[in-house]
Amino acid sequence: MRKVWFFIIFFGFFSLSVFASQEGALKLSSFVLESKGIGESGPVLVNGIVAESNNVTSLSIKAFGKDYEVVNDELAKIPKAFYNGIQLSYEKGYQSLNGRQIYIILQSGFISGVNKRVLISVSENGDISVRELK
C-alpha cells in the first residue's frame, strides 16, 4: 500500500511541474507591413486595426501604385479571433483573371499549430475578397 501512495505522490508532484507554464497569445491590436515588393508588385504597405472585441475594424493596402480600403461588408467577413500572425505574398497573375494580386493571411495560433487563417486578396483592378482558409 505504501508503494501505491508513493507512486501517486511522486507522479502527482512531477505532473504539476510539467504543466506549470502555458503559452499565451499576443494578439495584434494594430499592424503595419511594408515591403519593397518583387517583380512588378511595386512597394506594398498594409495597415490594420483590431479592436478589443477581436474585430478587424480597419484595413488599408497600398500596392500597384494605388490605395485600397477594405470596406465594412468585407471586414465583416473576417471572423473574430485573436490574430497574432500575418503573411504577405504576391502573384503576377493574368489580365483575364483580375491581373496582379496581393495576398494577406491573418492567422491565429501557437507554436503547436495554427488555429484559424483568413485570406484577404486584393487585385490591381480593386477587387477585394475575404475567405476563411481551412
Residue 14 clears pLDDT 70, i.e. is over it: no
More confident residue, 60 or 2: 60
pLDDT at 18: 54
At 49 the three-state DSSP class reads strand
46 domain residue, yes or no: yes
Residue 111 clears pLDDT 80, i.e. is over it: yes
What pairing do the DSSP bridges indicate for beta strands 44-50 and 30-35? antiparallel
56 domain residue, yes or no: yes
31 domain residue, yes or no: yes
* Mean pLDDT within 85-90: 96
Contact predicate 82/108, CB 8 Å: yes
Q: Determine the Cα–Cα distance for residues 94 and 104; give it in Å rounded to an integer.
A: 19
Q: How many domains does the chain have?
A: 1
Could you tell me the pTM of the whole model? 0.80
7 domain residue, yes or no: no
How does the average pLDDT of the chain come out, rounded? 88
Residue 71 clears pLDDT 80, i.e. is over it: yes
76 domain residue, yes or no: yes
2 domain residue, yes or no: no
Question: Where do we find the cell 500575418?
Answer: 86
Domain that holds residue 121: 24-133
60 domain residue, yes or no: yes
